Homo-oligomer: A and B are copies of this chain.
Amino acid sequence: MNKRIIEKYALEFEKAFNSYIPQRVCNYSILIDSMRYSFLLGGKRIRPIILMEFYRICGGKDNKALPFAVALEMIHTYSLIHDDLPCMDDDDMRRGKPSNHIEFGEDIALLAGDGLLTHAFYIASQVKDIEPKLCLKAINVLSELSGISGMIGGQVIDLLNEDKRASAETINEINLLKTGALISAAAKIGVILADGSEEMVEYAEAYGTKLGLAFQIMDDILDAVGDEKVLGKPIHSDEKNQKSTYVSLYGIEKCHEMVKNLTDEAISCLKNISVEAGFLEELTRYLANRKN
């Protein structure tokens, strides 16, 4: 796996993020600090990388899709801030650091989340060197898959099934919406901005769905048998919370098989879009074999 490319992308996103938000707003710099804090906590930056790469393999030129990549990651970031709030998962730590509301207070954390979500659409609607029609379509996909029929819908079903032994069907639905939707958004938006065909958009959506599920099953496997040191967080949290997971439903061995099959299917979607998807193929395999 070429980690250099990932690191280069990550730096590019952080630099772009900083240039897209006001550097200093004298009266309320705490809001900007809070938004920046969570965005720059890091993470794998999978979604914006997938967006940029789909744009590239569909013939997109230069870095024109960059604002959309950053907008998507801002939406992912806002969802983590709101998820950590006391009225939601009540998590004090995120990526080894205090959660946003621990660092800045609940009120500012709430507004920082709202601010990141709103600013994502501001950045996306300001793109000048891609056809307005395509930008509008991309904003439509972004708002659909991060909204009530996508990520937010998944969070609601997840909430409603807390402390319940959910069925395999429900778990699939939660993961498709909570994790799969934003990954599909990344892939689809990349294709749309490069003016790819309807067929390519469909393959992109299928890729996101397959990878999203593989990613979530891998999460469950790591929570069951991962190495806490490599993972950077305590394992067995699902068992403790009596949460139904792919592992509790199917067992470790079957889960590994599912990850393998989903990864192969995701990669075959890539091959249907372009012969230049070598890096995306590597990334997809890497995510299926990750240790954290």
Given A110-B88, A160-B28, A173-B27: A125 and B117 interface contact (C-beta under 8 Å): no
Stretch at the interface among A11-19, A58-66, A134-142, A205-213: A134-142
A114:B156 contact, CB within 8 angstroms: no
Given A132-B136, A139-B125, A140-B126: A159 and B107 interface contact (C-beta under 8 Å): yes
Stoichiometry (number of copies): 2
- 1/0 per residue, CB under 8 A from B, across A101-138: the answer is 00001111011011101110110011000011101110
- 1/0 per residue, CB under 8 A from B, across A149-193: the answer is 100110111011000000000100100000000000000000000
Per a CB cutoff under 8 Å, which of B108, B114, B153 touches A31?
A: B153
Least CB distance, A138 to chain B, in whole angstroms: 9
B28:A153 contact, CB within 8 angstroms: yes
Q: Which B residues are CB-close (under 8 A) to A22? A: 148-149
B28:A156 contact, CB within 8 angstroms: yes
Check: A21 CB closer than 8 A to any chain B CB: yes
**Ranked 7 nearest A-B pairs via Cβ:** A87-B106, A118-B147, A122-B143, A28-B156, A132-B132, A125-B140, A121-B143
- 1/0 per residue, CB under 8 A from B, across A74-115: the answer is 000010001001111000000000000000011110110111
Secondary structure type dominating chain A contacts: helix
Bound: A285/B198 CA distance, A: 52
Per a CB cutoff under 8 Å, which of B118, B135, B156, B173 touches A143?
A: B118
Least CB distance, A148 to chain B, in whole angstroms: 5
B106:A152 contact, CB within 8 angstroms: no
Per a CB cutoff under 8 Å, which of B111, B135, B147 touches A115?
A: B147
Q: Which B residues are CB-close (under 8 A) to A195? A: none
B152:A31 contact, CB within 8 angstroms: yes
A156:B121 contact, CB within 8 angstroms: no
Least CB distance, A178 to chain B, in whole angstroms: 12
Bound: A200/B22 CA distance, A: 27
In the complex, which residue of chain B has the Cβ closest to the Cβ of A27?
B157
Check: A144 CB closer than 8 A to any chain B CB: yes
Per a CB cutoff under 8 Å, which of B125, B160, B170 touches A30?
A: B160
A148:B82 contact, CB within 8 angstroms: no
Check: A25 CB closer than 8 A to any chain B CB: yes
A152:B108 contact, CB within 8 angstroms: no
Q: Which B residues are CB-close (under 8 A) to A46? A: none
- With A115-B148, A118-B147, A132-B136 already in contact, 5 other A-B pairs whose C-beta atoms are closer than 8 Å: A25-B149, A27-B156, A108-B156, A114-B117, A125-B140
A118:B146 contact, CB within 8 angstroms: yes
Bound: A149/B108 CA distance, A: 15
Least CB distance, A244 to chain B, in whole angstroms: 15
**Can you give 27 contacting A-B residue pairs, CB < 8 Å?**
A22-B148, A25-B149, A27-B173, A28-B156, A30-B156, A31-B152, A31-B156, A78-B114, A85-B110, A86-B87, A87-B105, A87-B106, A88-B110, A110-B110, A114-B117, A114-B152, A115-B147, A118-B146, A118-B147, A119-B147, A121-B121, A121-B143, A125-B143, A126-B140, A131-B132, A132-B132, A135-B136
